[in-house]
Amino acid sequence: MLSAKETIALQRENIAKAAPILNQKITSHFAPITKFEPKILIICGSGLGNLTNKLKLKSHLIIPYADLPGFQQSTVQGHSGELWVGHLKDTPVIIMKGRLHAYEGYDIRDTVYPIRLLNNYSEKFCNGSLSSLIVTNAAGGLNLDYKMGDIMLIFDHINFPGLAGKHPLVGPNWDEDGDRFLAVSDAYDLTARKVFLQKYTELQNAKKITSSRTLHEGTYAFVSGPTFESRSEARFLKQIGSDAVGMSTVPEVTVARHCGWKVLALSVITNNVVLDLPQKASDIANGEKEISLDAGKADHEEVLQIGLAAAKDLEVIVEEIAAFL
């Protein structure tokens, strides 16, 4: 296993190769029409990859991750492993269909390599035009007011792997991107959240999105996975202030902020986390009715299905707000 120093050195080598390749592909595709300078990177979480259907079909470009040195391939269902480049209405964007997770066996720094690469590409070839991140995920609801299919605007996070030393900024600092010590107390842009709330309300009132889907704001707990939480872990997360829990997003948000980008992060609540303690065998022996331990247990296929249903609304909203970020 490579050290942090060796991993970052390898990433720098790969970025030096990949950024010109990315620029060549994008320039050759768009240059006859216009100079393409992306404003927003959108990372699609589980079940949300159909956002690419909103791109202008005559102009979009698809780049497989495998075409870019250093870009790893996701192994998780629902993450196809492609960059889609084009316009949401008139806003130039890059969409990641598929992200990497540390639980797949990748170094935590590999999961944020796309942001390092795209920031380098933007600075060298696009006058630093790429300055915002919209990131989505599927998450388990810990807050009892959250229902499956609801959307949570993330306004803060708890980075459990990071607190334990598994942090994307560990190792030699990327001085050209940001300072050694990064404050994340302002990680989730307030203006972007206000715009999202306004557009969400307008679209619900106009019946362009599901009227029964509630929008919340809350704190996202990042855990490494791949297991879903035990009952006691879930109770602990809720007790310390977490509203939802998932296995992604925070590393990408951290590095995007390190690069100086604005961040808007959204969770689709795809399951309600089991918070009740398991039944005691002694209580059953004393006559209490037995309750199956399978009741409420999370399932990845269910996560994908709930995500797909909510994605239709997210696609409409993200397309509307892109011009305002």
Cα separation, 217 vs 155, whole angstroms: 6
- Burial (CB count <10 Å: 0-12, 13-18, 19+), residue 155: middle
- Predicted TM-score of the model (pTM): 0.93
- Taking CA atoms, 217 is separated from 191, 266, 268, 280, in Å, by 14, 9, 12, 35
- Could you tell me which of 167, 189, 152, 317 has the C-alpha nearest to residue 255? 167
Percent of the chain with pLDDT over 70: 93
Per residue in 188-219, pLDDT tens? 999 999 999 999 999 999 999 988 899 999 99
Cα separation, 316 vs 112, whole angstroms: 27
The dihedral over CA atoms of 156, 158, 161, 165, expressed in degrees to the nearest 10, equals 90
Percent of the chain with pLDDT over 90: 65
Q: Is the pLDDT of residue 314 over 70?
A: yes
Per residue in 138-169, pLDDT tens? 899 999 999 998 999 999 999 999 999 999 99
- Could you tell me which of 256, 258, 265, 267 has the C-alpha nearest to residue 306? 267
* Confidence tier at 311 by pLDDT (50, 70, 90): confident
Domains of the chain: 4-324 (3.40.50.1580)
C-beta separation of 255 from 300 below 8 A: no
* Confidence tier at 122 by pLDDT (50, 70, 90): very high
Reading phi first (left if > 0) and then psi (alpha if -120 to 50, else beta), residue 210 is in beta
Average pLDDT, rounded, for the chain: 90
Q: Is the pLDDT of residue 47 over 60?
A: no
Catalytic residue IDs: 46, 79, 101, 103-104, 138, 247-248, 271, 300
> What's the 3-state SS for 178-215?
CCCCCCCCCCCCHHHHHHHHHHHHHHHHCCCCCCCCCE
At what angle are helices 300-321 and 190-205 packed, to 10 degrees? Answer: 100
